[in-house]
Amino acid sequence: MLALLYGGAFLLSGAAALAAMALARSAHQSAVTHALLILSGLFGLAASVGYCIELAHGVVRVVPVYATALFAFFVTPLSGFFLALVFLGVTLTSWYALGYLPRYHTHYTLPWLDFATSLFVLGMVGTLMAGQPFAFLIAWELMSVAAYFLIIADGSRESLTAGFRYLLMAQLGFLALLVGLLLLAGGDPFASWAAVAHAAAALPPSARLGAFLLLLVGFGSKAGLVPLHQWLPAAHPQAPSHSSALLSGVMLKVALYGFILSVGLLPAVPFSWAMLVIVLGLASAFFGVLHAVVENDAKRMLAWSSIEHMGLLFTGVGLLLALPNLPVGADAAALTAALTGFVILHALNHSLFKSGLFMATGAVVAQTHTRDLDRLGGLAQRWPLFSGAFLALALSAAALPPTGTFFGEWLLFQPLAIGFRSAAPASSLGAALVLAVVALVGGLAVFAFVKLFSVMFLGRPRSSAAEQAGEMPLLLTLPPLAAAVLVSLSGLLLFPLLAQPERVRLLGLPFASAVLPGAAMSSWGVVFALLGSAAAAAAFYRAFARRTIRITETWDCGAPLTARMQYTATGFSAPIRFFFRALVLSKKTLVVEPVVVTNPWIAKRRLSWATESFWEAGLYRPVGRAAIAISASVRRLQNGAVQFYLALVFAALVGVILFAL
């Protein structure tokens, strides 16, 4: 039954791809394709619910979907969870695409875009279901290449540049994965994962280290880990918004799944490797959130925030990997449970709120035709329901209560804060340092999302585009609203399940309680406390505030207030930019042009300003320059003299003979 449902979901996304091509000339092509994708998502969600119920009854089994000698697809509890995320994301984004894409039918070639979307979904589902390296790599490549076509869908120069960067990183990452997985599998791509794990156990440590590093590079480059992240904020926002939602909300989770899967194939992970994962995760979280704060492009800011959250998830995975090597003694089981709970809850929440935010931002862009935060504003008055949904999503992206993200991150904070008390001083200190970075990241995330919401929705419109934005259609409001409701409920419903030993088995998890004693709290208690304090504040206000309130114009000293007098996104992030100016390099150029040639005092001054990434300037550009310099020096060999070429051939021959002897 489950196999049929999972298989049906898999086939339906393939059918969507076929429908996109077959109906290319029909006006209903896009609607049919996305209806099939929604159906595929619902099938998959039904299967996930069924699987979860089975697990809750204590039946742990692998669901075989399809198996031949060449391909094997099955679902394990781990991939089942990530599949549920994919199907949830696909259902929401395809629902949204039904309202979103018709507005862009002249902008995109819809049949090709929908074809690529369907193949992308097929690739993600295939990657998660893959039962051996061969199927995994084929599906992974399908997903990567289809994503390229999503990124370049609008055909603009910016998209093509971003797409080229993406494709380069994706192919380098694929090569790393190919070599890494084959190294682990002992050269047999058709071996099942169990056989790969068996083969990996027999490998020498150096080969295992090599495979681990290659897999970290492969999956890390897809997940946007520093320093392989630079393509992500350029590429994800260029895709149409429903595709951006899939890329940022869901595809990154597939990369996380791949990493967890491949680490599970290794017999043991030494402490230093786990430290590498933690350090990369923390660096990604920090650089991601830092750039999210200073970024002025709404969609790119969300992409930076994705890097932040993937960094947190990798930090959690790294801590899990480090645990067996730490002298935490009896706490090990509780710590494992808490960190696993964090990875599960945070992956779920991130895919929900990030898809929701991308869809909502896409809806704003569809109405105002700009992604520049400094040209938006004042939208809350016109779209109250939509702004409410956006606010809920922004709150959850900033991990504030009562959204699910708060409870998810709580599960990361509590082991770091109190979990390592009984451990040696060195590991307590390490945990404290990690906690400090995670806390800094959390604070900056609040800053970033306060900026995003307030600049987009509050105040007055900063441009005529924002001022003349029309009514927000219901079809573009509902999917982000659904994501907002789900992410608000996830913490309330899942946290109590994770917290109580007698209920945690309902989720099919093999541990007692994810909440450490001393860090427990009731999620409903948190909500009621928030509601109660809000009610108390309202009552206090009603009791003591002056009754008569006069609403008059703001005193403007005689000069009319304009939208340009408001706080801008650039101004809001200025303190952070100043504080971290060594890491966020900003380039200011002042151009002075005299209006009259003879008088230098009367001049037009233009200030242009841009931020630049630390890694772009410090790593990518030097590497690029070095590559070009080496190429230029090698080119000197090709001087056109036949005698020189003959001498080279002769030298090579002599060299080979000497080597052979």
**How would you class 597 by CB atoms within 10 Å of its CB: exposed for 0-12, middle for 13-18, buried for 19 or more?**
exposed
Distance CA 403, CA 353 (A): 10
CA distances from 480 to 155, 246, 393, 492 (A): 27, 13, 8, 19
Residue closer to other proteins (CB basis): 559 or 634: 559
Least distance in angstroms from the C-beta of 540 to other proteins: 22
Residue closer to other proteins (CB basis): 204 or 558: 558
Distance CA 108, CA 123 (A): 22
Least distance in angstroms from the C-beta of 546 to other proteins: 9
DSSP bridge pairs for 214:
none
Residue closer to other proteins (CB basis): 471 or 553: 553
Residue closer to other proteins (CB basis): 551 or 641: 551
The answer, yes or no, to whether the previous bond of 402 is cis (omega within 30 of 0) is yes
Nearest to 339 by CA among 73, 519, 96: 519
Residue closer to other proteins (CB basis): 553 or 593: 553
Residue closer to other proteins (CB basis): 542 or 550: 550
Least distance in angstroms from the C-beta of 554 to other proteins: 8
Least distance in angstroms from the C-beta of 556 to other proteins: 8
Distance CA 400, CA 410 (A): 10
**Structure-derived torsion over alpha carbons of residues 467, 101, 152, 397, reported in degrees to the nearest 10:** 60
Distance CA 553, CA 55 (A): 62
DSSP per-residue string spanning 114-126: HHHHHHHHHHHHH
Residue closer to other proteins (CB basis): 202 or 561: 561
Residue closer to other proteins (CB basis): 559 or 602: 559
Contacts of 14 (CB under 8 A, 6+ apart): 118, 122
Nearest to 486 by CA among 330, 349, 295: 349
Least distance in angstroms from the C-beta of 555 to other proteins: 4
Write phi, then psi, for 487 (nearest 5 degrees): -75, -25
Half-sphere exposure of 131 (CA within 13 A, CB side): 16
Residues interacting with other proteins, by CB under 8 A? 550, 552-553, 555-558
Residue closer to other proteins (CB basis): 68 or 554: 554
Distance CA 184, CA 190 (A): 12
